[in-house]
Structure formats: structure tokens, C-alpha cells
Amino acid sequence: MLSKSIAEQVLAEALRTGGDFAEIFCEDRSSGALSLLSGTVQNATAARRHGAGIRVYNGLSSVYVHTNDTSLSGLTAAARKAADAVEGAGGVRDIRLTRSVPANINPVRALPMDVPGARKAKLLRDMDRAARAVSPEIAQVVASLTYWDSDVRIANSEGLFTGDRRVYTRMAVNAVAEADGESQSGHRAPGAQMGFELFEDIVDAESEAKQAADIAVAMLHAEPCPAGVMPVVIDGGFGGVIFHEACGHALEAAAVAFGNSVFAGKLGQRIASPLVTAVDDGTLPGEWGSLNVDDEGVPATRLVLIQDGVLQNYMVDRLNGRRMGLSSTGSGRRQDYTFAPTSRMRNTYIAAGSDDEAEIIASCGDGLYARSMGGGSVNPVTGEFNFAVEEGYLIRDGKIDRPVRGATLIGRGAEVLLKIDRVGSRMWMAQGMCGASSGSIPTNVGEPMIRVTDMTVGGR
């Protein structure tokens, strides 16, 4: 991996033509995946990615070059290409780096790569068996396991020399229920930044598989959801995907710095219900979106985005911080060394409130209970969204009545924030992969149960 002496030489070369800042991000990543379909292992893969990216700034201009040759000559050649694309006065910089070793909040006991393949396959077969045991209507089960171990080194011309070790482990199960020519599916995919001890300490893989099958069977026998405007109760965990997609991206400096956000210029203003406090936290031990340092070497932070409905902070990376006159919040992230970093979410959630969950349902009258959310689409500039409800139920006279399928939630993120009038007392998170200009990265979404006074529900 990258040594301090090599990094000093390469950074000096990158600034040869007059850039005012240079950075090296070096990565060595091993990964693996195993999948099982209908009780049979279909794929078992292993891969390794190794390389480095070099970035040079000149004011607000940025050049990024990457290479998989991390020798001194390979890195110097990449630095020269980046430097040649920068127009400046030129000159020689004397780079002196100071090593910084961050505290590790994500310890690992059992590296997934070291776990025997037979044990991994057994985990998948147990998931398959548990899902099928729910009902004879379960026609297909797809179970998978993914994991990767990434060792990064980061150096820049301000003297930083640091690194991080990141080990991720995740399972996924998709169960399909069929009857009378109809089919419905249920999905679960928990993960964490830890090793195979995930399945001993936190995640019961068989229970997760049963939950996926339960969703599929419930939705198979559900009636179509009626359409209209109504109160909507959105449960915690993956329910936070609406905030993540429709609001969270609009709070990233990558959007705010260019005015491509409904929240641009609104620091200190009320943008949500007084019941809403929203946080982006990279410091939660072992969580899917946590980091010891971000991909620019900045220590992870706990960032309050919204406090009691008032906008407090944006998520800021180094370059967009320059544009906005703000410091980095430890939010610079990238998929791997082939991407330049930008501002991204980590573990982003609406914080717990004080309302009782049973009371939230009882006070709803007639409406929709979205127990689990699916995918959807969002306009990142306006915050307009359309999200499918994976598992939904009608509420009648303050009681959960019957399951419905085909429901979609339609609205604008900024408007939904203002219409939240109940926030439950228990918050939990769910794992996902978030895609944007710097690639696909692990992020957590979360919230407690919330109630929105009225939303447009699409259905039959």
C-alpha cells in the first residue's frame, strides 16, 4: 500500500503546474459473493480491486485521474496527467506528511473471507428452508451473501496521511409467493460494517427469511389499494428511504452548492414540523454507513441536519465546501478509487420522538399504514417522489383493517416534512446502497413510526 515517502513525491508532482491542493486515495479491496436459488448454489465469486486516484484543485476547478498501477512510477505518471490539466503559475512544493491513525469504531472478529464456504452455503440453505416453511405458496426463494474488505490510504498536500479498514457483511433474501396466476414478493437485506459475527450477534438470518416470506404471502392475498388523499402512517426502518431520497440528497452540498436544492439558502429556517429532528451520523459503531474517516481523510462526525424543524447543517465535502465557504463535515464519499468523492449520506435518519405507536395508529381514523417501503423515483431538484409500498394495510376507525397491494406514495419531500404530526418513540434503521455521481455506497436509512396528515396514495 501507499507509503509516506512515495505519497510526498507524488503529491509534489501533482502540484508541479500550479494547483493549490492535491490528494491521493489508494485502495486495496477484496470482495466475495454467494447466491442460492431454489436450494442450489448458483454463483460463488471472489474479486480484488487495487488502485489509486489522484485529485488536483486549482481554485474551484478539479481534475481527477485514477490508475491501477500504484508503484512510484505509476502514481507519478498519473499525477503528471492531473497536473498537466491544471493551469497555474507552476512551482515546486515541499510536501511533508504527518501520519494520523484514527480510532476504530468498527472492530471485526471474523473476516468473511476466512469463513469456510460450506458455512456460508449452510447459512443460505437455512434461509431458503425457513422461507419455504412459511407457506406452500412460497414458489421461489433467492438468498445471497455479499462481503468486502477495503483497506484505504489517504494523503493530501495539507500534510494529511491517514487510512481506514472497512469490512462489510450483508445477507439478502427475496421470497416469491404464487397462487391462481398471481405472484407477490417480499424482501429483507440486513447488513453491517462487521464480519461474520453479524449472524451471531445481531441478525437472525432464518427470522429475516421468514419475514420476507410473510410479506409475500400477505400481499398475495391482499386486495388492490384504493387511491386518494388520506393520512399515512409510515413505519420505521426502510420507511426512512423517503427522507433519504426526497430530502437527504437535497441537503448534500453537491446539490446545494449549485442551487439545485429546495433547501439551498435556508440554514436557520423552519423546513419541517417542529416534531422533526433529522441526523446524519457516521460515528455509530458497526453500522452500515459508519466510517472512521471519510474518503477525504476527515474524521467521521455526527451531524444534526434538522433540529425541531429548523435546518441546521448541510452535508459538506471538501470541494463543495470551497464553493460554499463551509468546512467539510466528514461527508466526502466514493464507491472506490475510480471515483472522485463528493458529499454523500452515511447513517441518515429521523430521530425518535415521544408518541406511542399504538396511539399513532388509533389517532389516524381512516388511512394507510405503510409497514414496509419498496423502490421508487425522485426528482432530486424538486424533491417530487413516487414510492411503492411493499407491505401496506388499510386503517379503518383507528385500527389496522386488511392488507392492500399496489399502493404508492406520491408527494414532495419538503411538503411531507411539514405534514408530520406524530413521531414514534422507537427508531430503527435499514441498509441500502445509494447511487450518485461518486458511485454506489453503503448507507443506512431510518426513522421511527411517523404519521403524515395527508398524502396522495396511488392505487387501483
pLDDT the model gives residue 460:
74
* Residues 167, 194 contacting (CB under 8 angstroms): yes
* DSSP, residue by residue, 63-120: EEEEES--SHHHHHHHHHHHHHT--S---------EE-----S---SS-GGGS-HHHH
Interior angle at CA 207, CA 201 and CA 208, nearest 5: 90
pLDDT the model gives residue 92:
64
* Contacts for 435 with CB less than 8 Å, ≥ 6 apart: none
| pLDDT tens for each residue of 266-314 | 999 999 999 999 999 999 999 999 999 999 999 999 999 999 999 999 9
Place of cell 459473493: 33
pLDDT the model gives residue 26:
98
Place of cell 447466491: 35
CA distance 4 to 442: 29
Task: Give the rounded distance of the alpha carbon of 375 from its chain centre.
Answer: 14
SS3 call for 255 = helix
Task: Give the rounded distance of the alpha carbon of 159 from its chain centre.
Answer: 30
Place of cell 501533482: 14
pLDDT the model gives residue 378:
87
CA distance 432 to 405: 23
pLDDT the model gives residue 1:
86
The Cβ-side half-sphere exposure at 451, using a 13 Å CA radius, reads 24
Residues (pLDDT < 70) of the chain are 89-92
Domain boundaries, the chain: 4-220, 223-458
pLDDT the model gives residue 91:
65
Count of other CB atoms within 10 angstroms of residue 242? 28
Interior angle at CA 150, CA 145 and CA 156, nearest 5: 155
Beta bridge partners of 388: 408
Q: Where are the beta strands (DSSP E) in 114-266?
A: 138-156, 160-179, 182-188, 191-192, 223-224, 228-234
CATH entry 3.30.2290.10 includes domain 4-220: yes
Which alpha helices (H) appear in 1-93, and where do they start and end? 4-14, 72-84
CA distance 318 to 183: 48
